[in-house]
Each structure stands twice: as C-alpha cells, then as structure tokens.
Chains A and B, each alone.
Chain A
C-alpha cells in the first residue's frame, strides 16, 4: 500500500510517501500507526501523540478503527489549516 505523510508529520518522518506491504498483524489504521511508530525514531517522534494525527484512506477521512487492505492509499497528517 501507499502511505503518505504531510506537514510536520512528513518533516519528522523524513519522507513524503512510501510503499509498504501491509503486515499480517495490521488490521486497521490504529494498528498501522502502532507498526509505523516502531519503524524508527522519526516515526516514533511523528506519532508520539497519535490523538492529534488525522488519517485518510483513499481520499476520505477515516477513524483509527477503519479496516485496511493492501491496495489502499493511506495518508497521515495533523488537523487541516487551509482557507
């Protein structure tokens, strides 16, 4: 699956986009956050306060209990500040 990061989350993690193979023990968005957090120090810093992170799957905002499939495009970002 494709995973994208935006704003300060992108800066902390150090990449804007990456392809990952959905791990067997990752069922939903919250699981993916947990799995990514363990991936390295930048990820741990980015996801240190998961309650402030928003998620989108296939361009729709989703809650952390949203189920994932390996063909999804997942994005993580802080609350939006456009306009």
Chain B
C-alpha cells in the first residue's frame, strides 16, 4: 500500500514549502512555495481517498480551483506593487512600517 509513504512525501513537501517561505524575499518565489504547500495537501487528500472514498478527490478539485483564483489575484497584486516600488522584494514593501 502506498498510503503511508504518500503521507510522508506530503509532509516532506509541505515542510520544504514552509522553509521556502521562511528563506526567500522574492514575492513570486514565495507564491510558488505556497503552491508547493497546496500541492502537498492535495497529495495527502488523494492518498487518503484510496482508503476513505472519492470525497478526497472532490476536495482536491476545490483546492485546485481556489489555488488558481489565489494565483490570479496574487499575481495581479504583485503586478500592482511592482508599478509602485519597481521591485517584488518584500524588503521594499514597508509602507505600513512605523
């Protein structure tokens, strides 16, 4: 059975995504790390659907929809920020800093 190894792989990929969010300042790479974490969660949904029925795969469909919407809006926000600061580095996004 591949259920156990799949969940381990999912945990590893999620942790790599968290480390990426912690280690980088490029907003686009940060977004890609978030996508990586969403993919890790999708993998655990699919793995558990082998034991629990097909509801997990329906949830993966919804996660993909929300991820696509999030990517579209997030990249539009990055585009708008780039027009202001000429950079996508999180260090330059300090307008609200006291």
Chain A partners chain B: no
Interface residues of A (CB under 8 A from B): none
